[in-house]
Structure 1
Amino acid sequence: MSLAPLLIAWHSRTGASRAMAEAARDGAGEAALCLSAEQVEPDHLLAARGYLFVCPENLAAMSGMMKDMFDRCYYPVLGRLEGRAYATVIAAGSDGEGAQRQLDRIAKGWRLKRVADPMIVNFEAQTPERILADKTVPDETLAECRALGEGLAEGLSAGIF
């Protein structure tokens, strides 16, 4: 298993979350391990010092595959992650607040420490066709994701969080 200070865990159906996670990984460089939610195991969480969770909001909640990752990993690492850094990026069709609240509740249970403001990217997808369509993430948003990854990696490296 590859070990890195920053674990970027993502799930995507339309490409937006994946693109944003990969941009954050590019910003963090070798300090990051970027895995799809399906690949994340408790050992990945234990090996990392910080986390970036990137997922879409589906039906006012985080995507099912992201929730599955937390369901599989939550109890095996409970009581072993306290104080570690985390941040979030949500790909939303409208407001993204439901997924954000859900992620924050899980992080609170693990006693993680938020180190960056929530990033919610609204794609304004309100019809079935637009919701299901592949998404193109604006360049400025990808730049923000790269900067977030870089900042998380530098903060972990410097021991700031």
Structure 2
Amino acid sequence: MAQAARAGAETEADVNTRLLAADDAGVNDVLAADGYLFATPENLAAMAGRMKDFFDRTYYPVLDRINGRPYASLICAGSDGTNAARQIARIATGWRLRPVAEPLIICTHAQTPEVILAPKQIGAADLASCRDLGAALAAGLAGGIF
């Protein structure tokens, strides 16, 4: 999903994109970006622990330094995804970021241990939605809309 969103963003020639794993992203990356697309699986009705760790490590060092920047979110969920989206929105509100799209929640319907643990295959239509979100965010940044 994140790779599809990046591919969509890269269609905008005037925007530089970076795809970073939560473990690899830090304060300088947050400060250097003009906009954000946060992507996470929902685990146990919450954002993934690695994403939570990213926010824990970067929240206070960038507070009041990124106000007004645009963001959107991608959630891969087994059944719902709304709690992870809500968590990201609360953090983004604290950072005073500006939401530019509703959270995009892709549901895999993984409900049994076997299906939860199996690699997920995201369908073409859902990947197209991810690409569209990346493209829209990039176009808004390039056009000065955000």
Shorter-chain TM-score category? over 0.9
- In 2, Cα distance between equivalents of 1:39 and 1:50: 17
Q: How does 1:38-49 map to 2 (within 5 A)?
A: 38-49=23-34
SS in 1 for 2:20: strand
Letter in 2 for 1:70: F
Structure 2 unaligned segments of length 5 or more: list them.
none
- In 2, Cα distance between equivalents of 1:159 and 1:132: 42
Q: How does 1:11-90 map to 2 (within 5 A)?
A: 20-29=1-10, 31-90=16-75
- RMSD after superposition: 0.8
Aligned residue pairs total 142
Structure 1 residue aligned with 2:78, among 74, 78, 93? 93
- In 2, Cα distance between equivalents of 1:118 and 1:24: 13
TM-score when normalising by structure 2: 0.95
RCO comparison, higher one (Cα < 8 Å, 6+) = 2
- Matching residue of 2:127: 142
SS in 2 for 1:32: coil
Structure 1 unaligned segments of length 5 or more: list them.
1-19
Letter in 1 for 2:3: E
Alpha-carbon shift at residue 117 of structure 1 (Å): 1.3
| Bigger fraction of residues in strand | 1
Alpha-carbon shift at residue 49 of structure 1 (Å): 0.9
- Over the matched positions of the two proteins, sequence identity in percent amounts to 58
- In 2, Cα distance between equivalents of 1:120 and 1:68: 21
Alpha-carbon shift at residue 32 of structure 1 (Å): 1.1
